[in-house]
Amino acid sequence: MAKRTQRNETEPSQALPRWQSKIVGYGDAPVDQIVANEKNWRIHPQTQMDALSGVLGDVGIVQNIVINRRTSEQWPPGDRGVETLVDGAARVLLALREGQATLPTTYVDLTPGEEAEVLATLDPLSAMAGADREHLAALLQEVQSGSSAVQQMLSELAVRE
């Protein structure tokens, strides 16, 4: 993470556009009513599902799923207002399998183009991050999981990164 630096007040100020928040609410979505996104291109191999299940069992939920409210007039009438999953498909699948009633949810309101951009870029952007091997090694020494799937994933991470 970058260290905070003080801005040199003698530098000319350049107006940067403000990031527009697309978040419109938070809540708990009933798992059995979550609509999968027809454009989701990600698949979740069993090894990933097992590791995720292990972490959820060890720690619990630490990140909301994301559902698009789809209220924009740009959505075709059959899709407009149909709340649709944008992020968290693996968590939803596990929640259904394990009988969880709800999942904590961040609700957003995206146009069709914005939703497509988020679906195409959210995971790949995270995957672009590099690894500080020294920090990773120190962190991995602190992790103790009762899940063999989590331990296997961490072992592979240590070798790969």
Q: List, as one string, the DSSP characters of 90-113.
A: HHHHHHHHHT--EEEEEEE---HH
Whether pLDDT at 124 is above 50: yes
Query: Residue 73's pLDDT is what?
Result: 96
Nearest alpha carbon to residue 137 among 159, 122, 112? 159
The residues, ordered by sequence, that sit 6+ positions from 8 with a Cβ below 8 Å of its Cβ are: none
b/e per residue 15-47 (b: at least 16 CB within 10 A)? eeeeeeebeeeeeebebeebeebeeeeeeeeee
Whether pLDDT at 98 is above 80: yes
Question: pLDDT class for 161, splitting at 50, 70, 90?
Answer: confident
CA distance 40 to 16: 32
How does the average pLDDT of the chain come out, rounded? 91
